[in-house]
Amino acid sequence: MDDLIVVIGLGNPGRKYAETRHNVGFWVVELLASKHKIKISKLKFKALYGEGVICGKRVLLVMPQTYMNLSGESVRDIISWYKISVKNIIIIYDDIDLPTGRIRVRPKGSAGTHNGMRSVIYQIMSDEFPRVRVGIDKPPEGWDLADYVLSKFSKEDKEKIAKAVVNAADAVETIIDLGVDQAMNKFNNLGT
| 114 noted as active-site residue | no
Residues contacting 67, CB < 8 A, separation 6+: 12, 13
Between CA 24 and CA 45 the distance in angstroms is 21
| Per annotation, catalytic residue among 22, 114, 133, 160 | 22
CA separation, residue 102 to residues 14, 80, 173 (Å): 26, 33, 17
Burial letters for 125-148: b for 16+ Cβ neighbours within 10 Å, e otherwise? eebebbbbbbbbbebeeeeeeeeb
Is the distance from CB of 64 to CB of 46 less than 8 angstroms? yes
CA separation, residue 123 to residues 105, 110, 119, 130 (Å): 22, 14, 6, 16
- The dihedral over CA atoms of 137, 115, 9, 67, expressed in degrees to the nearest 10, equals -120
User: Could you list the active site residues?
Assistant: 22
